[in-house]
Amino acid sequence: MSNKLNATDSLEIVELMLSVIRLMRKQVDSAMSAQGLSLARGKLLSIISNEGTCRPGELAQQLQQSPRTITDAIDALERDELLVRKRHPTDRRAQLLELTNQGISALEAVQQPKHEAIEKIFSELDSEQFHLFKVALKKIEATAQTLEVQISNS
């Protein structure tokens, strides 16, 4: 008996994963938005928070978005006083993004609702099912990353 999945099984799993991701994003976004910060805006602020400061181009790269899309998002967050643009200390052409106190507070305010929404999504899995799911996802991710490197090197 082969351990290989057939194409139909693989496609079904991919479709299920995409459906689950879509539903999870919607539920987490709803929980966060109720606190005044959408999932998309929260992701952007989280990256800046983790970095301390970052350039808009680095942010675009991490989010795999076009610079124009990121600029629009940065403009909106700056208007809402959640972040500020600062001059780079050594490169006059560059800007650095930094969270304001209001941005930090907004990010902190959504953490609990975000975690609660995620916990509800996984609440039907026992600890063994959760562990096996995590192991399988890590294996799939590693394979996908290897394939991505191979594609970019060819």
The whole-number mean pLDDT for each consecutive block of 10 residues of the chain, a chain of 154 residues, reads: 74 95 97 95 95 91 92 95 92 90 97 97 97 96 93 86
pLDDT of residue 3: 66
Residue 98: which H helix or E strand, with range?
Answer: strand 95-99
Q: Are residues 78 and 152 in the same domain?
A: no
Cα within 13 Å of Cα(68), Cβ side: 0
Number of structural domains the chain divides into: 2
What domain range includes position 38?
7-122
pLDDT of residue 8: 86
- The DSSP call for residue 92 is T
Q: Are residues 71 and 135 in the same domain?
A: no
Rounded to two decimals, the pTM is 0.82
Q: Are residues 145 and 86 in the same domain?
A: no
Tokens of 19: 């459906």
pLDDT of residue 1: 46
Give the closest residue to 121 by CA, choosing from 109, 130, 111: 130
Q: Is residue 51 part of a domain?
A: yes
CB-CB contact of 86 with 53 (8 Å) = yes
pLDDT of residue 62: 92
Q: Is residue 84 part of a domain?
A: yes
CB-CB contact of 112 with 40 (8 Å) = no
